[in-house]
Structure 1
Amino acid sequence: MTKTTSLIIAFIALSLLPGTQKAWAETSYVADSFEITLRTGPNNTSKIIKMLKSDEPLEVLGEEGGWLSVRTQDGDQGWAFKRFISQDLPKSIQLQKLTERNEQLSALSGGASDQLDALDKENSSLKETLANIQEEHQQLKEKYTTLESDAANVLVLKNKYSDTEEMLTKANTELETFSKENEELRASSNLKWFLSGAGVISVAWITGYLMGLSRRRQKSSRLV
């Protein structure tokens, strides 16, 4: 914003301030670029009390003909020619007020700029914090996915272990049954072999006994 633009804005703002026009109406000023006389009476022949400088504020007390009864800020009272007195705020005072207003606006603008910078920094900090939180969230999400996958694998392994344990138990049962049957079969085979062997021995003994008996009978027959 240029200085000229700031002055214009300040002038507009100043003109809108309440009570400004009333203050100007109550106070009059010596016109610009003039130095006039303050006289003891409302005519050019009256004694000069003092010279009034341009832009000097005056309190208007009354009017007679083309003269105004006025009082200065120093307390001097007299008459001044009305044509050289104006109720309009002098340009120099307007410029001074506009300059002061411009400085105020500049200060406000500077403060707003500082606040804007602070807000920008805070916004950047918040963005950085948000990015960090999003990154942490992503990491936690990945860890959760891994744990979820591991948990599923653990469940599968557990089911496989249960199935394997069941198969092992069944195999042990079948092995015990097979072993028992095998023992029974062995026992049965041994008995058969034993009985077979005993039968062979019995037949041989009986055969031998009968043959011996036959021989004795033959000997007895011969003796007779």
Structure 2
Amino acid sequence: MIASNPLLLARASLVLLVAMVPTVVGAAPAYVTDQLRLGFHRAPDTSDNPFRMLQSGEKVEVLERNRFYARVRASDGVEGWVKAGFLMNDRPAVLRVAEVEAKESELDAELQRIAEERESNSQQIASLQSKVDDATGRLQTVQDENLRLQQENEAYQERFSIPSVPITWTLGGALFTLVAGFLLGLLWVDHRSRKRHGGIRVY
């Protein structure tokens, strides 16, 4: 039908030509879609054999693009053509998964480090607590021994304490005893003498 209608044939040819005309764009980032090895070609229509393969998730810069094909620059600076339908603006899942896994690995390492530090701190705290308990026990022993010695000292003081008597009282008592004994001796001698001489005191 199109072949028999020159007007429709002209319109279809125009649409095809517009689709094939490259659109020059600024160097915009793009990514190869997931689960794909995309052929990198030198021919704008990718009709030749690819000279290398782009891996899924590989980042490229789009230099120009039409509906079907795009000229891109790889990360190493090499330029070529690829099928535009296999490029995407957002990072593919393979990159996001890799980033998440890397972050997870980093967090695991951080958690492991924190756990090790916590274990080390716990051991240090346990060691310090043991030293505190030991010092507390030794202090209690010293306090108990000190109390025992104080009690023994008080007991000895009570047992051997002698009332304090002034020296003058001691000397006075001795002198009184001596005089009293002398007088008693005189009275006894006088009594014996009078008894012997019939009651007459003889001196």
TM range (shorter): 0.5 to 0.7
Give, in angstroms, the shift of residue 58 of structure 1: 0.9
1:153 aligns with 2:155: yes
- RMSD of Structure 2 on Structure 1 (CA): 3.6
Alignment of 1:78-117 (within 5 A): 78-117=80-119
Where does residue 131 of structure 1 map in the other structure?
133
Count residues with an aligned counterpart.
Answer: 174
**Alpha-carbon contact 2:31-2:57 (below 8 Å) kept:** yes
Q: For each residue in 1:144-188, what CA deviation from the matched residue of structure 2 results, as whole angstroms up to 9, or x when unmatched?
A: 211332343344346x32x1x539996775454233212122124
TM-score by length of 2: 0.65
2:142 maps to which of 120, 140, 143: 140
Change (3 A) 1:42 1:190: same
Of stretches 95-104 and 134-143 in structure 1, the one that deviates more from structure 2 is 95-104
Which of the two has greater helix per residue? 1
Which of the residues 16, 25, 31 maps onto 1:29? Answer: 31
Say if 1:75 and 1:130 are closer, same or farther in 2 by CA, change over 3 A. same
- Residue equivalent to 2:73: 71
In structure 2, the CA distance between the partners of 1:43 and 1:178, relative to structure 1 (3 Å rule), is same
Gaps spanning 5+ residues in structure 1: where?
Answer: 1-24, 203-224
CA positional deviation for 1:84: 0.9
Partner amino acid, structure 2, of 1:181:
A
TM-score (ref. length: structure 1) = 0.60
Shift of 1:59: 1.6
Whose radius of gyration is greater, 1 or 2? 1
Establish whether residue 56 from structure 1 lines up as the match of residue 58 from structure 2.
yes
Give, as a single letter, the amino acid of the residue that structure 2 aligns with 1:90: P
CA distance 1:185–1:35, change in 2 (3 Å)? closer
1:187 paired residue number: 186
| Deviations 1:21-76, CA, capped at 9 Å, x for gaps | xxxx963211112333444565466x565343433321222334454331012332
Task: Tell me whether 120-129 or 47-56 shows the greater mean CA deviation.
Answer: 47-56
Q: Does residue 132 of structure 2 align to residue 122 of structure 1?
A: no
The Cα of 1:192 is off from its aligned counterpart by: 5.5
CA distance in 2, matches of 1:62, 1:91: 25
Q: Take 1:191 and 1:44, find their aligned partners in 2: how far apart are those partners?
A: 169
Percent identity over the alignment is 17
Structure 2 residue ranges without an equivalent (≥5): 1-26
Instruction: Name segments (4+ residues, structure 1) moved above 6 Å.
Output: none
